[in-house]
Structures are given as C-alpha cells and as structure tokens.
Chain A
Amino acid sequence: MSHWNPAPFAQQLLDLFASLLLLIAFAMLSQRRILTLIHLFAWQGLILTLSIVDSAWLTHQPHLYYSAGLTLLTKVLILPLLLHRLIRRLDVVWDVETLINIPTTMLVGIGLVIFSFNLALPISHFSSTILRNTLGIALASVLLSFMMMITRRKAVPQVIGFLALENGLFLAATSATYGMPMVVELGVALDVLVGMFIFGIFFFQIRETFDSLDIRHMEKLKEE
C-alpha cells in the first residue's frame, strides 16, 4: 500500500482558494449593497488567510504563518470592523447603489481575466515554486478591483475596491514568491491601516461639504 502524499491535495486546495478569491472579486463587482460589500471583503480576506496558511504548510516557510496572522488581523478583523463603524456613523448601512450595465461589466471582467492569464503565462513557466497557477488569478483579481473602483460612483465602495486590490496583490506576493520579507509586509500593512484612517476622515469631510458621499459632486476640477 502506497503512502498517501498530502502535497497534491494541498496544491489543489490552493487553486481552490485562489479561484474562490476571484469569484468574490466578481461578486463585489456586481454587489449593490454597501453592507454586503463589506462582508464580501471580509470573506475575501479570510480566504486569502487560508491560502497563505496552505502555502506556508506546502513550502515549509515559517514566516508565512506570521504573514497569515497579519492578514487575518488586518483584512478580516480590523478593516471590516472599521468599515462597519464608519458606515454606521455615516448612516449609510442600508445604502443601495444603482449600478448600470451589470452584464457588460461582467463581460469586461471576463475579458480582464483572460488577459491576465495570458500575461502571467510566460512568467509562470519560470516559477520554481509549486504555486504557479495562482499568479494569473492574482493579477485578474487586482484588475477586477481596479475596474470596481472605476465603475463605482460612491466613495465607500470605491475604497472597498481599493482594499480588495491590496488583497489581490497579497495573493500575488504569496503565490509567485514565498511572500515578501517581513519588514516590507509590516510596512505595507501599516500603510493600509493609516490609509484607511485617512479615508475615514475624508468620508466625514466629504459628507460635511457636499451633503452626500456621491463623488459625482467632485467632478468640477477639469480642464475646459
């Protein structure tokens, strides 16, 4: 009887996590309610954490466990909680955004996924790590979050798109390489947290000035 080797299973699991992350990126693209959007963001963070734990176990890199802990702390706990508090204090918990052309957005999104897979293909060949499939997915979720920021007309969803973009980058960091050096990861996490606080201050300033969080009011500065 042959010995059961868990590595291929963990490899499959990693692909599963990466595709779930991409699926959530699509869900965020079409989600109209702000509250659900925050929940989706927290789920994406959790899946990212699981995938980092998985690759830490696969590659026997102890420092990846720390980075998984850092992701859990910031992306699953602190940032969603902060966002929750923010939308409660801004009183936009039940806000629903009207999105036009969801099918078109989805189709463009699929195009982006194909594009990123093609872009990542020549690079994946060089990957000495066993995690090569995920680079394309990571790039795709970065681009999808990018698109979410472009299509949104309200400040809070735009910021959630920005944070989701960071999730995609972290997936790339752990899939293409064995994670960035710890000092860099700490620095990035600090930047994201400080950035979130500044976004929070901004929301209040914007609402105070424009009586709304709609960024349509902020399209005055243009070259005529």
Chain B
Amino acid sequence: MEILVLLSFPLLGGLWLGVTGQRARAPQANLLFSLATLGAAAFLAMRVLREGRVSAWDEQFVVDPFNVFLVGLTAFVGTTTAWFSRPYVRNEVQHGRLSENRLRLYHGMYQAFLFTLLVALTTNNLGLLWVAMEAATLTTVLLVSLYRTPASLEAAWKYFILCGVGIAQALFGTLLLYFAAEKVLGEGGNALLWTHLAQVKGQLEPTIVSLAFVFLLVGYGTKVGLAPLHNWLPDAHAEGPTPISAVLSGLLLNVALYAILRTKVLVDGALHQPFAGHLMMGFGVFSVVVATLFLMRQKDIKRLFAYSSIEHMGLMTFAFGMGGAVANFAGLLHMTMHSLTKSAIFFAVGHASQKSGTQLMEQIRGLIRTSPTIGWGLLLGALAILGMPPFGVFASEFLILTTAMHEQPWATPILLGALGVAFAAILGKVQPMVFGPATGQRLPHPPAILPVFLHLTLVLILGLYLPPALAIWYRQAAALLG
C-alpha cells in the first residue's frame, strides 16, 4: 500500500504539471509533489524498518532494507533539487532562455523522471526494472535538449542513441537470465521476480548466467557511466539545465548501479566464484583512471564535475566488486555521500554560472566577493567531494581504500594516485573561481542557498558521526548484497 502511494505522487505530479507546468506557481507545485513523495518515502522507510520487508501487487513490488535506503535518498535529493530548481528556472525565464511551453515540458518530465526512478527501485520484476530504466532515459532526453542549442541537441541525441543501444544489451541480458530461471522456476511470470530468483540462485545454469551478466553489466554500465561507455555523460550533464545535471549525477547513476548490484547477487549465487566481482573491479578502476585523466583538461565547469561523477561511480563499482560486508557497507555509504555532495555542488554551480552568464571556468571569477554563500558552497562542496576530512566522503573513501589494501592490494596505488590527481585538478580550477577579482552580476531571483548547505551539513554530520540506527540499516543492506 505504502509503495503504491509513494509511486502515485510523482505520477500524478507528472500528469498535473504536464498540463499546467507553465503557470507561475508550477515551480512551487513541483516542490510540493516532491515533498509529498518524500513524506511517503519516510512512511515506507519506517514500515520497512519495523517489518523488514514490504511487498505490493503480487510481489511485483518489493521493498527491503537495500532499496528503501535508495528510495529515501532519491525522494530527498528529488525534493531539494525541486527546491533549487524554483529560483533557477525563474532566472532562466527572465534571461529569456526558456519559454512557457518548455517550462511545462520541464516540470512534467521532472516528476515523470522521479516516477521512473522510484519504479525501477521498488520493482521486484527484473523485466519491469528494465522498462523503468529505459523510461528514465526517455523522460530526461528531452530535458537535456531543453535549450535547443546545437550543442544541447547533439548531447541529447548522443545520450538517446548510446543509452538506447546500451540498454538494449541489458534487455538481452535480462532475457538470458529469464531463460536460465525458467528451467528452475518453470514458465510464467514468477521467473523474473528477484525474490524468487534469489531463492533458487544456486541452481541457475552458470554458463548462461555469466553471459547474461556480461550483457547486463555493459547495458546498465552505460547508464552508470563506466568507462569506456561514458561518452554520453559529460555532454548530457553540461548541456542540459543544471537541476537535471544534479538529478542525473545524484540519482540516475545510482539507480543504474543498483540494477547491476541486484543481478550481481544472483550471479554470485549461481557461479560460486567472484566472476562478476572481477568484472566490476576492472570496469571500476578503469573508470576512475580515465575520468581523472580527463578531469585535468576540462574548461566547462559542469563537464568537470560530470567527469568527477564518473570517477566516483567507478570507485563505488570497484567497492561493490570487491564484495564482503565492509566493502559493500563502504560502497553504500559512498553512494549516499556522493549523491548528497554532487547535487549540492551542482546547485552552487548552477547559480554561479547563471551569475556569470557562462559555464566556462576561466570566465567565472571571484564568487566569494559577489555572493559569499555560493562561493563558500562551491568551495566546501569541492573539498567534500575530494574526500577532505571531516566530510563524509572521506570516511567512505577511507573505508574503500583500507579494504582494498587487504583484499586487492594491486588496486590501491592506482586508486590513490587517481584521487591525488583529481584533487589537484579540481581544487586548482575551483580556487580561482571562488577567489580572485569579481565578474558576476546580480540575479533577478535570489538563489536557493538552503539546499546546498543542507546537503553539505548532512555530509559533514555523517562524516563525524554515523547514528547507530543508520549504521545498522546500512549493515542490513550490505548483508543483502552478500
């Protein structure tokens, strides 16, 4: 019941705003619908905490400790981004970059996007998971090209084609998995339900399952932004509106990784050897290295942080690839920290580039003079994402690296080196933007500062002190991952 309520808010919101999204009050309505979703997610989380598992509609939807944490994160970042988007879109309209019709498209699709993410997270059916992931691409592709500039059209086309092809591979992988499951569970709808598959995972045919995982990893990995399948990601982040960059980085990439993790549990059970883990570690380390190499040569501020997202997704993929209680715990923690920090950075970046009228870093200067809050937000966000203590990213990265020293010593120097390079690259570019002579102008609508600092405060608090209840929750989720 709670699950259906949770899903109904963004669905209704999408329909409602798809019709009335051009009105002056639409940004508020967008925020209200997101708040309602957040409330429903909180209720759901409490019930899961009490009962351990909640299901709906003949087990087509199941929420357990693993996905409820992502549901909560998605609803939370969805709400704060809607908050940030309120002054952002108004400024864009004032600057003449968005018309009323586009605003309707934007608001309708924003809610529809949240809906597809929540369906992907809560569904128990691996086929529906695929459908929802594809739908998430469809809802965001028109948002990436919202400004209708040549560059944004190109970025959206690339995003559409690459993710479309990628996700087709994932469908083939899902088919193979169904093929393997059908022999154990018999024909019919149950053979794609994850909970049923998890019960018989030891009996699944290893050859088929390993081939299925390769297709699934390549398919969903395209959406995670794993190198060398990451080409769409920097373009889509840089050319779309900034709230969309924030939810793409903070939410969509997580959900795609979630899809991989769900299948990894099945594959591990079927193979009794760390085949899936090895593949994921390889892709993970490669993504970290490729992303840091590209970080140094970026000129566009949003591209810079898009590459940083690839780096962090690579790090998480590596952590989950190592497996085991500690690494999974660290991976989940890093997922949370990265979502919160990266979306906070994009909020600050959005206002900074609106003030300067450009996304080119060399033309953004002296933020701390013209608007101290945005300047501090960007600086603290950058320090947090680079893993400076006492922010939470430090805790999760530290856990990942120390586990790697035990389990996979070969990877530690590579990862440490990459993190060092990323530190120099990002801090070297952020520092002159924050300090230095001022160039910005005043914005017609005051920027939303609260979401930036709300996220950063949370990251700071979680870095200093992880409440025991939350730690138990993470541990339960990590245990589900095997």
Contacts and interface: CB of A to CB of B under 8 A. Distances in A.
Given A205-B153, A218-B157, 11 more contacts: A149-B165, A155-B157, A165-B165, A176-B176, A177-B178, A187-B131, A199-B160, A209-B153, A218-B150, A221-B151, A223-B297
10 contacts: A126-B180, A162-B168, A182-B189, A188-B127, A188-B134, A190-B131, A205-B148, A217-B150, A221-B151, A221-B154
B128 to A, nearest CB: 6
Contacts of A86: none
Contact of A158 (B142, B161, B176): B161
A198 interface: yes
B150 A123 contact: no
Interface string B136-152: 00100110010011110
A6 interface: no
Interface string B103-142: 0000000000000000000000101101100110010011
Contact of B157 (A169, A188, A202): A202
B207 A126 contact: yes
Given A176-B179, A202-B156, A202-B157, A166 B168 contact: yes
B262 to A, nearest CB: 16
Contact of B205 (A126, A183, A199): A126
Contacts, number: 129
A184 B60 CA distance: 11
Interface string A167-195: 00100110011101111100110110011
B312 to A, nearest CB: 19
Given A149-B165, A178-B187, A218-B154, A122 B125 contact: no
Nearest to A219: B154
A119 interface: yes
A210 B152 CA distance: 12
A162 B171 CA distance: 13
B154 A195 contact: no
Contact of A218 (B153, B180, B182): B153
B153 A206 contact: yes
Contacts of B179: 123, 127, 176-177
Interface of A is mostly: helix
B155 interface: yes
Nearest to A215: B157
Contacts of B149: 209
B192 interface: yes
A89 interface: no
A178 B182 contact: yes
B153 A172 contact: no
B138 A191 contact: yes
Contact of B138 (A122, A158, A194): A194
A142 interface: yes
A146 interface: yes
A7 interface: no
A3 interface: no
B168 A142 contact: yes
Contacts of B151: 220-221
Given A198-B142, A202-B160, A184 B192 contact: yes
A157 to B, nearest CB: 12
B134 A220 contact: no
A108 interface: no
B268 interface: no
B294 interface: yes
A183 B168 contact: no
A215 B168 CA distance: 22
Given A123-B176, A126-B205, A178-B182, A165 B138 contact: no
A16 interface: no
Nearest to A61: B187
Nearest to A181: B189
Interface string B170-201: 01100110111011000111011000000000
B175 A181 contact: no
B387 interface: no
A198 B182 contact: no
Contacts of A220: 150-151, 154
Nearest to A192: B134
A155 B25 CA distance: 38
A198 B154 contact: no
A195 B156 CA distance: 13
A56 B297 CA distance: 56
B369 interface: no
B235 A221 contact: yes
Nearest to B164: A162
